[in-house]
């Protein structure tokens, strides 16, 4: 075969190859990354900074309805309410207070309303050392029993903080005990966790991982 | 073909009268397809988004920029973010405060593993939503052990906390002796005087040495162009922290530098429903963190045997 024919053939083959490559590149026929799996945006509920409860002082500050705290709307002044107990010495919660869950302390021992509420003035708290406190002074009341926690709370080591760590640049916002704890059942309730991290390319056919392998 | 054959045999062939019609057509076909092939070969370049502008390309190293140059850079970033997201951000370059060294304390007794901190961090710091980049990894640990091999980070029960487990969120520990800084070949990451290890996203070359060096798995790499919905963009930005990153750069927790250097608490702390997280200036003897380090059972600095000396302390109540 003559050289010129060879050249022509090679040139033509190259043309075809290049054109095929060009088409492939332009049509993005290969080498493209696998499409990402759709990840739903996280529910904004999970990034809200609101506390789980609203304390009395916050209700007052927000000028909310305080009728729940108006004890003498129903009770009679100067007549302490009578507590009734069942045969297991458990407090019988009256129908009007059915929303109260008595869960303060382990073993259901702390089920006496008057441990904290003053039976002679229901709109006040009483501590073991004889102090009278208003509804907005709940940290003092809780602290009268939970000393170390109260000490930590005063130092800023217990409870929620927000605002400014640098007091020169702005105020710090502290929350009362009852902004997070239900006083009648103070254990912090469990909650739904925010979604876990998503895998970039989830395996289509996950192979079982053998014991001891990573 | 005939004249071609002749020209192949006898060299040098004098072109008779310019070019024949046939060879012209063939040559132009070869030329055109060659051009098309070259263009097609270069076509993947079309996929490069956000090709750096000349100004960005010529930008100096963070520590070498004068305040005037930094002002121009911040304006450029504001322009570019506005073009991309349609929101004019407020980009600052906050400097470390004098007499401040940040410390983070995390109460392992209180953490319930709800992951609110993870998502508040993503929202505050403009992390990519797809693929997901998250600075905080919450580990579900077995009670009575610190075996991280048995820790799970993708737990998803109906309610947390689960019995028999405790939860340990892990993020950048802002080490005093950071291995990630030592390995960076271009000094794109360094420790600031207030203890925060930062990254100049324009200086990072994406080699991921720091990711390999970090014993806490705290660094995240942008393998693709980060995707942030415009309505979720946080417009309060800082050069060294939460301005949008580009593909191919490293990022990590910076203690919400854009907030903390303005005196505020980090986003993960403010969203925590249980008050697990505590943050402050350890040089101030009246700060919360000083109180905790003095009075609480500060149990671990994570992997303290490595000598990284984290500024992140885990402690227990009681």
B116-172 pLDDT tens trace: 999 999 999 999 998 899 999 999 999 998 888 999 999 999 999 999 999 999 999
Phi/psi for B288 (5° steps) reads: -60, -40
Interchain CB contact of B148 with A (< 8 Å): no
Report yes or no on whether pTM surpasses 0.95: no
Q: Which residue has the higher pLDDT, A177 or B43?
A: A177
CA neighbor of B254 nearest in space, from B130, B133, B138, B121: B121
Which tokens is B296 given? 């609480």
Contact B36 A22 (CB under 8 A): yes
Contact B263 A170 (CB under 8 A): yes
> How would residue B13 be classed by pLDDT, with cut points 50, 70 and 90?
low
Which range has the worst mean pLDDT, A99-108, A181-190, B42-51? B42-51
Domain B102-316: state its class.
alpha beta
A-interface mutation test, from B119, B153, B195, B225, most A Cβ less than 10 A away? B119
- CA atoms of B116 and B109, how far apart (whole Å): 17
B281's CB contacts (< 8 A; 6+ apart) are A165, A166, B99, B100, B101, B102, B103, B287, B289
Sequence spans of domains, chain A: 1-29, 50-179
Which range has the worst mean pLDDT, A124-138, B14-28, B70-84? B14-28
Interchain CB contact of B118 with A (< 8 Å): yes
- CA atoms of A39 and B133, how far apart (whole Å): 12
Mean pLDDT value of segment A152-178: 93
Interchain CB contact of B270 with A (< 8 Å): yes
CA neighbor of A137 nearest in space, from A160, A119, A151, A116: A116
- CA atoms of B271 and B115, how far apart (whole Å): 10
**CB B316 within 8 Å of CB B110:** no
Q: What is the ipTM of this complex?
A: 0.81
Enter the DSSP assignment of A38: P
Summary mean pLDDT of chain B: 90
Contact A190 B122 (CB under 8 A): no
B80's enclosing H/E stretch is helix B67-85
pLDDT of residue A201: 74
Mean pLDDT value of segment B183-211: 96
CA B229 to chain A, closest CA, distance in angstroms equals: 9
Q: Measured over all CA atoms, what is the biggest interatomic distance in chain B, rounded to whole angstroms?
A: 103
Enter the DSSP assignment of A17: H
Mean pLDDT value of segment A137-142: 92
B148's CB contacts (< 8 A; 6+ apart) are B139, B141
Interchain CB contact of B132 with A (< 8 Å): yes
Contact B119 A46 (CB under 8 A): yes
pLDDT of residue B1: 45
Relative to beta strand B90-92, strand B236-238 is parallel
B-interface mutation test, from A170, A180, A194, most B Cβ less than 10 A away? A194
Say yes or no to pLDDT of B74 above 50: yes
A25 neighbourhood in chain B, CB within 8 Å? 40-41, 43-44
Contact B40 A26 (CB under 8 A): yes
């Amino acid at each position: 075969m003559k050289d010129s024919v060879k050249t022509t053939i090679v040139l033509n083959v190259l043309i075809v190859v290049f054109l095929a490559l060009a088409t492939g590149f332009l049509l993005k026929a290969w080498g493209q990354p696998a499409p990402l799996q759709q990840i739903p945006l996280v529910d904004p509920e999970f990034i809200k900074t609101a506390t789980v409860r609203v304390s009395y002082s916050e209700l007052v500050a927000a000028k909310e309805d305080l009728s729940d705290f108006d004890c003498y709307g129903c009770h009679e002044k100067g007549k302490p309410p009578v507590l009734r107990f069942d045969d297991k010495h458990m407090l019988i919660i009256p129908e009007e207070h059915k929303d109260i869950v008595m869960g303060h302390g382990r073993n259901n021992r702390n089920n006496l309303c008057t441990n904290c509420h003053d039976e002679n003035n229901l709109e006040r708290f009483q501590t073991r050392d004889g102090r009278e406190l208003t509804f907005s002074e709940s940290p003092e009341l809780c602290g009268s029993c939970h000393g170390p926690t109260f000490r930590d709370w005063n130092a800023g080591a217990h409870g929620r903080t927000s605002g400014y760590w640098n007091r020169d640049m702005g105020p710090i916002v502290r929350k009362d005990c009852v902004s997070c704890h239900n006083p009648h059942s103070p254990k912090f309730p469990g909650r739904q966790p925010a979604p876990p991290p998503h895998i970039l390319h989830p395996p289509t056919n996950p192979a079982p991982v053998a014991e001891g392998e990573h | 073909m005939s004249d071609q054959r002749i020209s192949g045999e006898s060299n040098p062939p004098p072109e008779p009268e310019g070019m024949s019609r046939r060879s012209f057509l063939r040559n132009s076909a070869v030329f055109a397809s060659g051009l098309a092939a070259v263009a097609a070969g270069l076509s993947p370049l079309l996929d490069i988004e956000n090709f750096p502008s000349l100004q960005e390309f010529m930008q100096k190293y963070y520590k070498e920029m004068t305040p005037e140059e930094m002002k121009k850079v911040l304006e450029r970033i504001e322009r570019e973010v506005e073009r991309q997201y349609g929101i004019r951000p407020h980009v600052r370059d906050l400097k470390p405060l004098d007499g401040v060294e940040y410390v983070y304390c995390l109460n392992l007794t209180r953490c319930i593993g709800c992951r609110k901190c993870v998502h508040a961090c993503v929202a505050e710091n403009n992390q990519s939503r797809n693929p997901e980049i998250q600075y905080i990894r919450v580990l579900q640990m077995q009670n009575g052990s610190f075996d991280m091999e048995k820790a799970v980070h993708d737990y998803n029960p109906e309610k947390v906390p689960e019995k028999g487990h405790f939860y340990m969120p892990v993020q950048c520990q802002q080490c005093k002796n950071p291995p990630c800084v030592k390995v960076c070949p271009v000094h794109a990451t360094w420790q600031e005087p207030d203890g925060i290890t930062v990254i100049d996203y324009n200086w990072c070359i994406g080699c991921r040495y720091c990711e390999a060096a970090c014993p806490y798995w705290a660094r995240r790499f942008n393998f693709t162009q980060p995707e942030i919905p415009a309505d979720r963009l946080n417009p309060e930005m800082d050069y060294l922290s939460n301005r949008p990153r580009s593909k191919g750069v490293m990022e990590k927790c910076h203690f919400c530098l854009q907030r903390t250097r303005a005196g505020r608490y980090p986003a993960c702390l403010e969203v925590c429903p249980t008050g697990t997280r505590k943050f402050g200036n350890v040089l101030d003897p009246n700060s919360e963190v000083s109180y905790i380090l003095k009075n609480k059972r500060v149990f671990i600095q994570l992997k303290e045997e490595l000598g990284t000396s984290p500024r992140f302390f885990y402690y227990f109540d009681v």
